[in-house]
Amino acid sequence: MYKKIIVTVDMSSFAKAERILQRAAALADQGGEIIVLNVVEDVPNYIVIDLPQDLVTEAIRSAEEKLVGVCRMMKLTAFVDIRTGPPASCILAAAEEHQADLIIVASHVPNISNYFFGATADRVVRHAKCSVLIERR
């Protein structure tokens, strides 16, 4: 079905990772590629002063370790891509760079704040140049 699938994993809802990775494995072509993507958001400068210097580095290391571990546990061959920056922009850039034909995004049920600020999944759906699957469960 799909040759290259970007699977976005938010470490704050890591429990959903296995389920969306199973979905990606089921949707991938024989020999298809799965890219597991996590985005570590930049910390604003006015907050950085009060935080440990290696906070972002540690978040990247931890995310990579957990994602490689879950892929290994599932016996899933996947490339792990960790980026820093605004989540929606990073997801869209990764999809373009990897020439993905599907992005899978786990999303929560929208609440009132989404109508004012928008969610990452909303932005990805609006601007992606490939198909997007929103996993809601």
Each residue of 48-60: pLDDT tens digit? 666 676 878 888 9
Query: Which residues 6+ apart lie within 8 Å of 42 measured at CB?
Result: 56, 84, 85, 86
How far is CA 68 from each of CA 23, 51, 85, rounded to the nearest angstrom?
Answer: 17, 27, 21
For 25-54, the pLDDT digits (tens) are 999 999 999 999 999 987 776 666 666 768
The answer to pTM > 0.85 is yes
pLDDT of residue 16: 83
Q: Which CATH architecture has domain 2-135?
A: 3-Layer(aba) Sandwich (3.40)
**Residue 112: its H or E element:** helix 112-117
* CA distance linking residue 90 with residue 82, whole number of Å: 10
For the chain, the residue count is: 137
